[in-house]
Amino acid sequence: MIGNITLGQYVPGNSILHRLDPRTKIIWTGLLMVATFMINTWQEYVMMGALTIVLLIVSGIPIKQTLKGLKPLLFILAITALLNIFLTSGTPVLIIGPVKMTHEGIISAIKLFFRLVMLVITASLMTLTTTPMTMTDGIEKLLKPLERIGVPAHEIAMMMSIALRFIPTLMEETERIMKAQASRGADFDTGSIFSRIKSFIPVLVPLFVSAFKRADELAEAMESRCYHGGKGRTRLKSIHFTYLDGMVTIVGLLYLVLLLGIRFIK
């Protein structure tokens, strides 16, 4: 299970994506996600897919490791694809009683599949190439102007960083508890869906207890180190924009203009 969760994990490296300022990666991740929802034509899908593949190659992270993040979403992908295929109105391709499969539904399901795949890969690349501490500094810097209206930028950044950091830890804890329960006779693989859900109750209870215990230990550790928020806090390494960030931003903007301008080019 832990191997299939890429969100929150960091893979050390010296690629272009690793060297980018975290603010650049956060902003561009958001822009690429918005662009992924805006594309509609096949030409735009091909261009967006090509950009995603280029980012995978440039990151230096094994493609197999990045694609593992799709495994937990396979069930959701299958359900949404079926709903699109059978509930989208259009030209019938196959009719089974009151249910009909339409050509427009198939096209919509294929587009939705590639869209979700690109979204997951884009989000995974940001966390795989950015350390939790650097991510915290980037989010705090981006939210810094909002402090004038009372937004606690440092606290929000810290909470988001801790949440991302503990996703792999909680998944590992879940796997450990499931193995312990399985050794005591628990069955998670057979029976109806309701019996399987019921069998997870002995897993959820100790998982919640462990999560609260970890949160309490983290709070005590921060207090013992005299942590009092971001006021007056110094950093060992300060983040700053570089020439590389500027070049990536310029190239990215040109590519997005071309990507979203295809539909207007006749």
pLDDT at 229: 67
Separation CA 108–CA 114 (nearest Å): 10
Closest CA to 33 of 109, 104, 125, 106: 125
pLDDT tens, position by position, 42-88 = 888 888 999 999 998 888 888 877 777 677 677 777 888 888 787 77
- pLDDT, position 234: 67
DSSP track, the chain: -GGG--TT------SHHHHS-HHHHHHHHHHHHHHHHH--SHHHHHHHHHHHHHHHHHHT--HHHHHGGGGGGHHHHHHHHHHHHHHS-SSEEEEETTEEEEHHHHHHHHHHHHHHHHHHHHHHHHHHTS-HHHHHHHHHHHHGGGGGGT--HHHHHHHHHHHHHHHHHHHHHHHHHHHHHHHTT--SSSS-HHHHHHHTHHHHHHHHHHHHHHHHHHHHHHHHTT---STT---SS-----HHHHHHHHHHHHHHHHHHHGGG--
Can you give the pLDDT at residue 25?
92
Output the pLDDT for position 250.
Answer: 92
Nearest to 81 by CA among 106, 101, 103, 104: 106
Amino acid 74: pLDDT: 75
Residue type, 41: T
Q: Quote the pLDDT of residue 179.
A: 82
Below-50 pLDDT ranges, the chain:
1-2
Q: With contact defined as beta carbons under 8 Å apart, do 125 and 9 qualify?
A: no
pLDDT of residue 27: 92
pLDDT of residue 119: 87
Going by C-alpha positions, the residue among 129, 146, 138, 130 that lies closest to residue 235 is 138
- Which tokens is 112 given? 């939705």
